[in-house]
């Protein structure tokens, strides 16, 4: 099966992120869940973002990338929201990356390299009325541009709703119906990797 590194969102390595990782493990995949917050979790996105800012998002990105350096090639990099930063950088720049899974966020490809690496598949998932995804930082526009430039490798899935971290079962933002579909699409992606 597939080896996956799953990076948490700004509220930390919550029980919901751990449960998501466990679902992938139950399907036979090996999943690493680095804790970039050293055990700290937060009740709101805003509090988590403030904590991340106090550490420095650049330092968090460096720590996330450094975590993967001792892993073999052939890994899928996944991230929830803030966790997409290291996941996307590694997917775009680390030799042998098998794919990327970007939940609730997507950065412009130009942040990490000039173009998306040919033949490296990626899925991007977000809600169609989530202001964090559709308005705040241009994640939706970045996702659409990535798909438009790489139609053979990139897929964008939009779910109806306004929740941001809808796939985290431990948060108020959780949307069970959308989360189930997201997990199904994730498992199909992992199963169908070349």
Angle at 179 between CA 34 and CA 71, to 5 degrees: 25
Residue 138's pLDDT is what? 83
Burial class (CB in 10 A: 0-12, 13-18, 19+), 129: middle
Token reading at 16: 């919901």
Task: Give per-residue pLDDT as tens, 30-62.
Answer: 999 999 999 999 999 999 999 999 999 999 999
Neighbours of 19 (CB within 10 A): 13
φ, ψ for residue 43, nearest 5 deg: -75, -25
Q: Taken in order 104, 110, 115, 118, is the CA torsion positive or negative?
A: negative
Q: What is the mean pLDDT of residues 4-25?
A: 98
Residue 135's pLDDT is what? 87
The distance of Cα 159 from the centroid of its chain, to the nearest Å, equals 16
Q: How far apart are CA 55 and CA 61, in angstroms?
A: 11
Task: Give per-residue pLDDT as tens, 134-192.
Answer: 986 789 999 999 999 999 999 999 999 999 999 999 999 999 999 999 999 999 999 99
Q: What distance, in Å, lies between the first and last C-alpha atoms of the chain?
A: 11
Measure Cα distances from 73 to 2, 28, 83, 185 in Å.
Answer: 11, 18, 19, 23
Q: Among residues 129, 110, 70, which one has the least CA distance to residue 94?
A: 70
Q: CATH number of 3-191: 1.10.3210.10, 3.90.1150.10, 3.40.50.1820, 3.40.50.20?
A: 3.40.50.1820
Instruction: Compute the mean pLDDT over every residue in the chain, rounded to the nearest whole number.
Output: 96
Domain extents for the chain?
A: 3-191
**Three-state DSSP state, 74:** coil
Q: How far apart are CA 37 and CA 51, in angstroms?
A: 9
Helix axes 57-68, 45-55, angle to 10 degrees: 80
Residue 136's pLDDT is what? 66
């Amino acid at each position: 099966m597939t080896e996956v590194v799953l990076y948490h969102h700004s509220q930390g390595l919550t029980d919901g992120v751990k449960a998501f990782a466990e679902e992938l493990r139950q399907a036979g995949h090996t999943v690493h869940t680095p804790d970039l917050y050293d055990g700290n979790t937060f009740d709101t996105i805003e509090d988590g973002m403030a904590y991340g800012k106090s550490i420095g998002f650049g330092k968090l990105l460096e720590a996330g990338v450094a975590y993967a350096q001792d892993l073999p090639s052939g890994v899928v990099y996944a991230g929830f929201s803030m966790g997409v930063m290291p996941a996307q950088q590694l997917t775009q720049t680390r030799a042998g990356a098998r794919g990327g899974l970007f939940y609730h966020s997507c950065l412009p490809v130009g942040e990490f390299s000039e173009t998306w690496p040919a033949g490296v598949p990626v899925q991007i998932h977000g809600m169609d009325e989530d202001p964090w995804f559709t308005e705040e930082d241009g994640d939706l526009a970045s996702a659409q541009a990535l798909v438009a430039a790489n139609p053979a490798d990139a897929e964008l899935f939009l779910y109806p709703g306004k929740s941001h971290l809808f796939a985290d079962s431990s948060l108020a933002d959780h949307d069970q119906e959308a989360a189930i579909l997201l997990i199904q699409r994730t498992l199909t992606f992992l199963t169908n990797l070349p």
